[in-house]
A = this chain, B = another copy of it.
Amino acid sequence: MGQFVIRGQVINPVTPDRTTLTDCVVHVGADGRIVARHASDSPMATQMLDHAARQGMPVRTLSASQVLTPGFTDLHVHAPQWPQMGRALDLPLRDWLEQRTFPLEARFADPAFAAPVYDEMVRTLLANGTTTAVFFATIHEESSLLLARTCLRHGLRALVGLVAMDDPALCPPTYRNASVDQALAATRRFIHAVRALPGNEGELVRPMVTPRFIPACTDNLLRGLGELAVEEDCLIQTHCSESDWEHDYVRQRTGVNDTMALDRFGLLRRGTVLAHSCHMTAADMALVQARGAAIAHCPLSNAYFAGAVLPLRAAWQAGVHVGLGTDLSGGYSPSIAVNAAMAVTASRMLDTGTDPARAAGDRGRPGARLTFAEGLWLATRGGTAALDIAAGQFDAGQAFDAIMIDRTAPGSNILPPVHGETDRVAADVVQQILCNIGRPNIRTVWVAGRKVHDTEA
Contact = CB atoms under 8 A, between A and B. Distances in A.
Interface of A: 82-83, 85-90, 107, 113, 116-117, 120, 124, 127-128, 244, 278-279, 300, 303-304, 307-311, 332-335, 341-342, 344-346, 348-350, 352-357, 360, 363-365, 371-373, 411-415, 418-421, 427-428, 431-432, 435-436, 438-440, 455
A415 to B, nearest CB: 6
Contacts of A309: 349, 354-356
A299 to B, nearest CB: 9
Sorted from nearest, which 5 A-B pairs have the closest CB atoms? A308-B356, A411-B439, A332-B435, A86-B432, A86-B435
A89 B371 CA distance: 9
B436 A86 contact: yes
Given A307-B360, A360-B307, A350 B355 contact: yes
Nearest to A85: B415
A355 B365 contact: yes
Given A411-B440, A431-B89, A439-B413, A83 B355 contact: no
Given A355-B308, A360-B244, A86 B350 contact: no
Contacts of A431: 86-90, 332
Contacts of A436: 85-86, 332-334
Contact of A419 (B83, B90, B335, B342): B83
A140 to B, nearest CB: 16
Nearest to A412: B439
Given A278-B356, A308-B352, A411-B127, A90 B371 contact: yes
A436 to B, nearest CB: 5
Nearest to A278: B356
17 contacts: A85-B436, A86-B415, A86-B436, A87-B428, A90-B371, A90-B372, A303-B346, A304-B345, A304-B348, A308-B355, A308-B363, A311-B355, A332-B435, A334-B436, A350-B354, A411-B440, A411-B455
Contacts of A349: 303, 309, 346, 349, 354
A347 B116 CA distance: 35
A54 B355 CA distance: 59
B90 A427 contact: yes
Contacts of A308: 352-356, 363
Given A332-B341, A349-B303, A432 B354 contact: no
Contacts of A357: 311, 365
A364 B356 contact: no
Contact of A124 (B86, B353, B413, B418): B413
Nearest to A279: B356
